[in-house]
Amino acid sequence: MNEKGLAGVVIALPTPLHPDETVDVESLCRLMDHTINGGADAIMIGGTMGEGVALLDSQKRILVETAVAHNAGRITLLATVSETSTKRSIDFVRSIRHCPVDYWVCTSPYYNKFPDPQSVLTHITEIRGSSDRPLVFYNAPLATGNPVDVDTLDRILNMEGIAGVKDSSTNFGLFMEMLRRYPKGDRPASIMQGDESVFDVSLLLGADGVVSGGGVVFVELLKELYATACSNNPAQSMVLQRRLSQELRALLGPRAGRDWVAKIKQRLVDMDVIGASHVSAPFLTHIDTVGDE
Amino acid sequence: MNEKGLAGVVIALPTPLHPDETVDVESLCRLMDHTINGGADAIMIGGTMGEGVALLDSQKRILVETAVAHNAGRITLLATVSETSTKRSIDFVRSIRHCPVDYWVCTSPYYNKFPDPQSVLTHITEIRGSSDRPLVFYNAPLATGNPVDVDTLDRILNMEGIAGVKDSSTNFGLFMEMLRRYPKGDRPASIMQGDESVFDVSLLLGADGVVSGGGVVFVELLKELYATACSNNPAQSMVLQRRLSQELRALLGPRAGRDWVAKIKQRLVDMDVIGASHVSAPFLTHIDTVGDE
Amino acid sequence: MNEKGLAGVVIALPTPLHPDETVDVESLCRLMDHTINGGADAIMIGGTMGEGVALLDSQKRILVETAVAHNAGRITLLATVSETSTKRSIDFVRSIRHCPVDYWVCTSPYYNKFPDPQSVLTHITEIRGSSDRPLVFYNAPLATGNPVDVDTLDRILNMEGIAGVKDSSTNFGLFMEMLRRYPKGDRPASIMQGDESVFDVSLLLGADGVVSGGGVVFVELLKELYATACSNNPAQSMVLQRRLSQELRALLGPRAGRDWVAKIKQRLVDMDVIGASHVSAPFLTHIDTVGDE
Amino acid sequence: MNEKGLAGVVIALPTPLHPDETVDVESLCRLMDHTINGGADAIMIGGTMGEGVALLDSQKRILVETAVAHNAGRITLLATVSETSTKRSIDFVRSIRHCPVDYWVCTSPYYNKFPDPQSVLTHITEIRGSSDRPLVFYNAPLATGNPVDVDTLDRILNMEGIAGVKDSSTNFGLFMEMLRRYPKGDRPASIMQGDESVFDVSLLLGADGVVSGGGVVFVELLKELYATACSNNPAQSMVLQRRLSQELRALLGPRAGRDWVAKIKQRLVDMDVIGASHVSAPFLTHIDTVGDE
């Protein structure tokens, strides 16, 4: 684990798959090497970009085991363990906690609605207690249907064993209020931005780092943006953010909502980093959707 | 299986649990007897009311096996197999398809967004193909985050092996348009209403039946409402609907969004039908929330 | 005024305009004759369809004065007086209350948000008190941004001098609950449906009538739907509703949100009922938008 | 008019009223003096805070005439002329354009929906052309129901005679993208933040200024925040923003959505700046709502 805690450019890795949706271990290793060599500060596996909730538990375990073994301590490693309930999350952590990742990552539970803050606090406490590794809370209300307010995020940042919050709420006011309450260098845990459209301003105002799925194909640009913002250069940070947003738009195209996973994998195929662009059903591949709009 | 297809009053059963969140088999059997003796037309297990997505797979299998064995063919039985991806859904069905339920039930996948109709169609087709039992599609966009439009529901109703659609969208216009396209007695599959606030009008206009979670404590009232609406008595149907809505409000209380599962289980405890009101974390029990608002 | 109160098919009339957005009085008279001869039960002027809030006050007065004079008591006449505040509403009513319309119609105020039910109740009470004519409350939260709950609508129905509620909330559950509380023939004021997609079920379950803007070009079809539903023929009512929805879709086309006012006026021009399809800026005419998507 | 264009701390003034909702001219003059003496850079009258859309046209004219006369050129003056349609807006501007304000301010039209960008562009162009004074576009989608996308805002910033955009969308990503496209010192028109919860970050990243309604009672704090952010001191800016947010919360209380106008006026009464806290109906006064929740 990074001694200074979770920070910098975290790449949320896609999971290369075979046609039968088993993990393409060989491609995964190449993709990790590519990302590490590109200068990323950390790798997150099995997140939204990694189709984590869609894979069979057996494949998720192969994903974690492979990543830990292939990494061999070269880079900070985060592994996502989100599930629909506390019990299911703990059950999965227990089956994989022998793997020395640096951080587990979990979202709120999903499908059901849990409007009481006590629910997410209990959920996190119990998952945290089920292994000896620190936990990162991934705030992803658009996926889980369970928004978390700033006072609850504040309590999470102060929980024992919590290494940070990755915020993908796309609610910038919420994110900003965390930064205001805890100035950089004096906060109980890391505050990471997961919304790729506001990386510049988040870093300029004191975020510890960014987590990017699409960034797997733009690692160097992300590194430059991170360094520029941390050296307090707003004008150039904004120029780089605009470039990042434009590159992402060009990559994803007009049907991004439908085939974004396949589009990013296909680009990695084109870059000769992974072997194929297969996705887990019912995600669509770009081929399925040609001409249908 | 009911020869005339899926119809009438379907009770979505809560799943009685022990404190460790394993299935309380003895209570489950008593609850089934209570529901069957009350006159329900069918029982659905493992749905939203049944905390289906929250239980461990091992417990979900015990739930289905117990229900099938204890039912012994007395009542139509539906079992929910919803999961986050097609692969995970099929994997679960395969592990339990030896159990002769009457229907499997699945929602759209959840957590990820699948805006292209092709995704849900593929999902349903593949799940349908993984067993020899008919499938009911459970339209639950508030839980899954994946709304399905009426033209896609129309295609689902016409798919081979699809026994019906249970609509819990709370979008009455959508439901009504299905009824318009397929008059009662001349439709490819059953059309069931899952929104407890519009059972009266849905049945009066030709729905085949209703699916109710809260209804487990009001089986006789639901039966009366069903019979009244099917005999085309709008005025009395509306009186009964108002009674149902009032009883549900009184049962659930002002914090329904936070402890509805516990509230319904507690009522069943009070009725001496199940042994305890334990819920799966991070659902809250009524005790946790006393005095906290 | 109709002795039995507000009921039947109410046509919300477009307001024919000259290029300078003054009222085209000659076309207005022809359009009224067309609507009356088509068998409508009532005409509503200056509503959403009539661009009521967009016209100059001077033109709104000409609209009311012309309609009253040309009607000469032939048909029930409603005139909309919606404004952004109580004071502005009353000011307008006072300037036009010498015109013997049958009902004034007002929505909640708009632009500002008024979440307290007391606001809309005060608003209605004061407007009601500013003339000797009964008032119809037009529930249009999509336009005003101010939703009204069912208990408040219930209080409005029971206010002195309130002749009815026209509900365009597109919230069918809300509408249905009004019908449940007040069975047809035993209600304090009329309950009218303004959502053209659920006219069939609303009338079948006891609505007093419907208010339709697009219906100005389908008066006979609306009359047939009304008669069929009131004679309690659900199957045929649904057939007619489907026909109505299809005709409206065909008329409005794929850009309905942008040029619906112009499209309906153009159809009336094509039917030789009004002279031109001019709309108030910044509504778009069909000509502006050709080829731009 | 300020030679360097619209910038700094703009106070959106409440409109002091008599019980009959006519303008309390004496209080208005005192309130202006208070604001000018407090160091504000500009005053905006008749905006959302000023109940502008709620007042009678005759009172709005008195408001503008009084403000211009009493100001006597001491401070930059903006006057809002928002209306439901282009015609009504122009009509109002023409009735008041003899008053030498520095800027007119208009929102999108409201009540009706105008999803085509051409509508708002036409609206602004025509209003701009109806006087010889520059126009500020006030992006207020929560009030108007008509959101404007960033490409359209970009076109507005570049229109002739447009002095700036005040953004109250609460969509920070949108605001930030304007700042990215047009670095401070090199932009076609001013970019002002109207969302009081993100003044710090907006100014730190290059906004020209802020527009605040609640700020009328915190002019000095706003001035300090503005100076601190413009001297590029993020840490202290965030401290001041937190103070501002806390003061506003304390002032508005838990029912802010219902009586915010009355609460702010009452504070001004307590500060002995205006004579009474009367509001336009159906806004509620604090007295109406005591004990009712």
Per residue in C253-265, pLDDT tens? 988 889 999 999 9
Per residue in A89-124, pLDDT tens? 999 999 999 999 999 999 999 999 999 999 999 999
Q: Do A112 and B48 touch (CB under 8 A)?
A: yes
- pLDDT at position D185 over 50: yes
State the alpha helices, DSSP H only, in chain C.
25-37, 57-71, 86-96, 117-128, 141-144, 150-157, 172-181, 199-204, 219-230, 234-252, 256-270, 286-289
The beta-carbon neighbor of B111 closest among A53, A115, A119 is A53
Which residues of chain D neighbour A180 with C-beta distances below 8 Å? 200, 238-239, 241-242
What residues contact residue C270 under an 8 Å CB cut-off, 6+ apart? none
State residue C102's pLDDT score.
98
**Weakly modelled stretches of chain A, pLDDT under 70:** 1-4, 286-293
Per residue in B201-211, pLDDT tens? 999 999 999 99
Is C242 at the interface with chain B, CB within 8 A?
yes
Identify the three-state secondary structure at position A7: coil
What residues contact residue A73 under an 8 Å CB cut-off, 6+ apart? none
D207 in Cβ contact with D179 (< 8 Å): yes
Q: Do A172 and D198 touch (CB under 8 A)?
A: yes
Percentage of residues in chain A having pLDDT higher than 90: 93
The beta-carbon neighbor of B115 closest among A115, A144, A258 is A258
- pLDDT at position C292 over 60: no
Query: Which of D18, D23, D57, D85 should we substitute to test contact with C (largest number of C Cβ atoms within 10 Å)?
Result: D85
Which residues of chain D neighbour C85 with C-beta distances below 8 Å? 51, 53-55, 280-282
State residue B1's pLDDT score.
37
Neighbours of chain A (3+ CB pairs under 8 A): B, D
Percentage of residues in chain B having pLDDT higher than 90: 93
State residue D286's pLDDT score.
63
Mean pLDDT of chain B: 95
Which residues of chain D from 60 to 89 reach within 8 Å of chain C, CB to CB?
A: 82, 84-88
Chain D residue with the nearest C-alpha to that of C109: D282
State the alpha helices, DSSP H only, in D183-233.
199-204, 219-230
State residue D285's pLDDT score.
86
- Per-residue pLDDT averaged across D110-128, rounded? 97
ipTM, 2 decimals?
0.95
Chain B residue with the nearest C-alpha to that of C179: B238
Per residue in C163-201, pLDDT tens? 999 999 999 999 999 999 999 989 999 999 999 999 999
Query: Which of C201, C243, C245 should we substitute to test contact with B (largest number of B Cβ atoms within 10 Å)?
Result: C201
Query: Which own/partner contact pairs does B148-156 have at CB distance under 8 Å and 24+ positions apart?
Result: B148/B108, B148/B117, B148/B120, B149/B117, B149/B174, B150/B174, B150/B177, B150/B178, B151/B117, B152/B117, B152/B120, B152/B121, B153/B178, B154/B178, B154/B181, B155/B117, B155/B121, B156/B120, B156/B121, B156/B124
DSSP code, position C284 = P
Per residue in C66-119, pLDDT tens? 999 999 999 999 999 999 999 999 999 999 999 999 999 999 999 999 999 999
Per residue in B248-277, pLDDT tens? 999 999 888 899 999 999 999 999 999 999
Indicate the residue type of C188.
Answer: P
Higher pLDDT, C7 or D292: C7
Structure tokens, A293: 């709009």
How large is the C-alpha radius of gyration of chain D? Answer: 18
Q: Do A114 and B282 touch (CB under 8 A)?
A: yes
State residue A4's pLDDT score.
59
State the alpha helices, DSSP H only, in chain B.
25-37, 57-71, 86-96, 117-128, 141-144, 150-157, 172-181, 199-204, 219-230, 234-252, 256-270, 286-289
Is B176 at the interface with chain C, CB within 8 A?
yes
Mean pLDDT of chain D: 95
Q: Do C282 and D123 touch (CB under 8 A)?
A: yes
- pLDDT at position C35 over 90: yes
State residue D212's pLDDT score.
97
State residue A291's pLDDT score.
45
What residues contact residue A1 under an 8 Å CB cut-off, 6+ apart? A76, A102, A103, A134
Mean pLDDT of chain C: 95
Pairing of strands C42-45, C8-12: parallel
Where is average pLDDT lowest: B216-225, C2-11, C26-35?
C2-11
State residue A267's pLDDT score.
97
Q: For residue B4, what pLDDT band results from cuts at 50, 70 and 90?
A: low
Which residues of chain A neighbour D201 with C-beta distances below 8 Å? 176, 201, 205
State residue A292's pLDDT score.
41
Mind giving me the DSSP string for D68-110? HHHHTTSSEEEEE---SSHHHHHHHHHHHTTS--SEEEE----
CA atoms of B82 and B86, how far apart (whole Å): 9
Q: Is the backbone peptide bond immediately before C282 cis, with ω within 30 degrees of 0?
A: yes
Is B170 at the interface with chain A, CB within 8 A?
no
What residues contact residue B267 under an 8 Å CB cut-off, 6+ apart? B217, B251
Q: Do B87 and A257 touch (CB under 8 A)?
A: no
Number of H helices, E strands in chain D: 12, 8
Query: Using CB atoms within 10 A of its CB, is residue A155 exposed (0-12), middle (13-18) or buried (19+)?
Result: middle
CA atoms of B151 and B148, how far apart (whole Å): 8
Structure tokens, C61: 């007065």
- pLDDT at position C1 over 50: no
Per residue in A154-200, pLDDT tens? 999 999 999 999 999 999 999 999 999 999 989 999 999 999 999 99
Chain B residue with the nearest C-alpha to that of A256: B115
Which residues of chain A neighbour B21 with C-beta distances below 8 Å? 87
User: Across the C/D interface, how many CB contacts are shorter than 8 Å?
Assistant: 129
Higher pLDDT, C286 or B246: B246
State residue A19's pLDDT score.
97
Chain B residue with the nearest C-alpha to that of C237: B180
Structure tokens, C162: 């309130």
For the entire predicted model, the pTM comes to 0.95
